[in-house]
Amino acid sequence: MSLLEIFFIFSIIIQFVHAVEELLTGFHKKWYLFKMPFWIFFLFEILFSLFWILVLLIDLFPNRETLQTFFLVLMLANGIQHIIWWRIVKKYVPGLITAPLHIVVSLIYFLLTFR
């Protein structure tokens, strides 16, 4: 198992917990870009998670390593976005508790890879 795959797995697990935090704390009603019905956000989370699980489980998935790297970058950006959102509103925002975990995992991977 490669270093990328190990960090990808960690990041997927964190994303599951992050999604649960967002679902339980009303992210769909509070996101600054647009509001959406709960069922749409829930469906998005399911489809998003299923896609990344397929990337993990299917060894011959097209562009698998590129997608895994992209996911780590995406989760780094997601974590940073939550921190910035929190700093702007100066109160808890849905996903804030787990967002720093995304930042830490991604940064460790990139520091180990590009040192």
Q: What integer best gives the mean pLDDT of the chain? A: 96
pLDDT of residue 115: 82
pLDDT in tens, 44-90: 999 999 999 999 999 999 999 999 999 999 999 999 999 999 999 99
Q: Has this prediction a pTM greater than 0.75?
A: yes
DSSP codes of every residue in the chain: --HHHHHHHHHHHHHHHHHHHHHHTTHHHH-SS----HHHHHHHHHHHHHHHHHHHH-TT-TTHHHHHHHHHHHHHHHHHHHHHHHHHHTS--TTTTTHHHHHHHHHHHHHHH--
pLDDT in tens, 34-57: 899 999 999 999 999 999 999 999
pLDDT over 70, % of the chain? 100
